[in-house]
Structure 1
Amino acid sequence: MQVAQRSGVLITQGLPVFEEVAGHHEPAPFFVTPETVPGAPFSIAVVDAARLLGAPHADLHVHDDHDEIYLVATPGLRFAVETEDDMIELESPASISIPAGVKHRLICHEVQTDTCPFLGILLEKGTLPV
């Protein structure tokens, strides 16, 4: 990864940066972190939901120190967000806010496009209203 500043613009290349995330089956591809954008108070992982069809991308897991937002802007994804108490069936475009301490996971059922970028945005705990 290379971070440089030029003409007043911060440029980061060599992305994504793969990081282990508790409960996930494989390292998550992060495009924004406090290291890739020095000082950023959040991180953004981007996965292709079209590659996650049929099986959960993670076990039920919890982020004790981070709130999370799932964001799918591309229309045509049918998916579920599972918590300990519920299975929430959704269709994109959609965003889901998950406060720190809530066990969750994503399950993609169907996608109508060849690719479907899905953002997982980790924020400092307490950023989201409860």
Structure 2
Amino acid sequence: MERPLDDTPFTFEEPCPIRDVLDRIGDQWSFLVLTGLEGGTMRFSELMRAIGDVSKQMLSRTLRRLEEDGLVSRTVYPEVPPRVEYALTELGRSLLEPLRALIRWADDNHRTIVLSRRRVRDAA
């Protein structure tokens, strides 16, 4: 069900808003696309090079989903050949701060997590 633009109540398709949002942005590619667009507008090929090992199909699917969620905008320029650019929306930009905090947390705690995993595996 599509959300009305006014304050009319509506029913969520997904019963848990947290899971709904985290499932969409928590995958590897969405995270990389969002942080890749932090520097500004990019074309598909530029974004693909910036991310590295993502396939064209996966990048296309990820961009479509992020656009659908209102996190990324897609602008098509009527040129030959057509030029398409992607950028973060205001909503997408608002997500960068918590993403950066998560990146910092992961950097700060990665060693501890890896050591913990080894201890558990060694004990098994």
Q: TM-score, normalised by structure 1?
A: 0.21
Larger radius of gyration: 2
Could you say which structure has the higher helix fraction?
A: 2
Kindly indicate whether structure 1 or structure 2 has the higher relative contact order, using CA contacts under 8 Å at least 6 residues apart.
1
Q: TM-score, normalised by structure 2?
A: 0.22
